[in-house]
Amino acid sequence: MADADMPPPDGKGDSDPKVDNDSTNDIPEEQRKEAEEMKEKANEFFKRQDYNQAITFYTRAIELNPEVAAYYGNRSFAHLRTESFGLALQDAAKALAIDRGYIKAYYRRASANMALGKFKVALKDFEAVAKIRPNDKDAKAKFNECKKIVRMQDFQKAIAVEDNHKSVADSIDVQSLSIEDDYTGPRFENGGVTLEFVKDLMQTFKDQKKLHRKYAYEVLLIVKKVFEGQPSLVDITVPPEEKFTICGDIHGQYYDLLNIFELNGLPSQENPYLFNGDFVDRGSFSVECILVLFCFKLLYPKHFFMARGNHESMTMNQMYGFEGESQMADLFTEIFNLLPLCHCINNKILVMHGGLFRDDAVTLNDLRKIDRNRQPPESGLMCELLWSDPQPVCGTGDSKRGVGTMFGPDVTKKFLQRNKLDYIVRSHEVKQEGFEVTHDGKCITVFSAPNYCDTMGNKGAFITIKGNDLTPKFTSFDAVVRD
């Protein structure tokens, strides 16, 4: 379910609670009026897609008048847009505690639960809304969409057998797939992926044409074997004077991926790259992005690296559309399960998609031992590597996303000292300039999907370092404008 389809924030006239509550009467009229003004300012920021500012002003409205369900409901919606699913759930619950009949709070709570993969819980809320508003087409569509996912999960569980360790890849007979005479797209040369094949593939996708499924299957089957041979933590050595590039989230934004290669050069043995997760979902060209990246991995297995992100999972793919782009969903899932979880560069820089850990005694050896060949769990080291976020205050806390951990500058400092590292690089969060340096320069975020979801207005960025100078250099870039 795309949250763009959800009802807009409540406007004027929708903010009064629909239950008897005398506590609001204790608030002076002038203060209630000021709260409404804060809400209207927040709504304007929301319309301009400045969700952080919207959250700030919804919060001010709540502080002035904490007994209005719509204030919490609107802030919940803004938290959904910033992917703070845990905070969205909290605000939806507060709204419903004030007014059990406040329909939009059920939408918010259901959307947050869907984003966290809790489809059966979300289904109950969508069902309630559909019953209350039987003529609401949007409510009915969301209910049916969620029900479809729940039924699919139940079906997959029902047909599971003890022999479920068998790989989907083993059942694919590539040789039986024939290539039609009128196919004019890229073809393997000398039985495999070459640089010319990848260049042809990139242009084919740029022209919004397709790769024949025989070649797509072959790429996936070969790259699966490559990732099978890699550990959960991959060590990378960058020689002195050589450049190394780290990219963050791509999210199916294929034309922006091509722009990175225009700005920074194609991957090669002399121009190595690390893509730090979330290659798919949200954008319209997930399959195109992932196949091009996989091909570069096959071309340069020791100079092109890919880490798993939280969106390389079955739940995220069901939510945000990647699964629907390809009939190869099960094979993609098997490959995603094999992607390394983190990389260590020159024994000094640890790179992961999400962040650090609630446990303050984690070592690199602990990360090497993670059994990653599975769907991400809801807690533990693997979960935190994929989902955690930094916070400005010291210590750890519950994640704003509802999964993972918030970690402060003291946590980062201790982790680096314990493991003799200089700094960490992570992705996972939209940043206005495409990057952000926090925790006294020891925690760097890089995000490479500009104008995320075609709404955020942010720049993308990538990081370059030299083997003998690990000081990060940042390049920001705007989204590609297409006709």
- State how far the Cα of 351 lies from the Cα of 426, in Å rounded to an integer: 6
Q: Which of 311, 343, 428, 439 is catalytic?
A: 311
Whether 311 is a known active-site residue: answer yes
**Residue 295 Cα distances to 148, 193, 230, 254, angstroms:** 33, 7, 17, 14
In sequence order, what are the beta bridge partners of 246?
Answer: 274, 463
Phi, psi angle pair for 125, to nearest 5°: -70, -45
Q: Which two tokens stand for residue 175?
A: 């040789």
Angle 471-472-474 (CA atoms, 0-180°, nearest 5)?
145
DSSP bridge partners of 304: 273
β-sheet bridge partners, residue 275: 247, 306
Contact 430, 456 (CB under 8 A): yes
247 contacts 355 by C-beta, under 8 angstroms = no
Burial classification of residue 276, based on how many CB atoms lie within 10 Å of its CB (0-12 exposed, 13-18 middle, 19 or more buried): buried
* CA–CA dist 279, 82 (Å, integer): 18
- Which amino acid is present at 332? F
Distance, CA of 442 to CA of 461 (rounded, Å): 18
First to last CA, the chain: 27
Euclidean distance between CA atoms 346 and 468, whole angstroms: 9
Q: How far is the C-alpha of 39 from the C-alpha of 45, rounded, in Å?
A: 10
From start to end of 215-361, where are the E strands?
Answer: 233-236, 243-247, 273-275, 304-306, 342-345, 349-352
Query: What tokens appear for 451 in the block?
Result: 């104008």
Are the C-beta atoms of residues 312 and 277 closer than 8 Å to each other?
yes
Helix (H, G, I), strand (E, B) or coil at 396: strand
CA of 304: how far to CAs of 256, 271, 307, 454, in Å? 18, 9, 10, 28
Q: From 36, 25, 18, select the one nearest 99 (Cα to Cα).
A: 18
Spatial neighbors of 229 by CB under 8 A, at least 6 apart, are none
Q: Which positions are catalytic?
A: 311
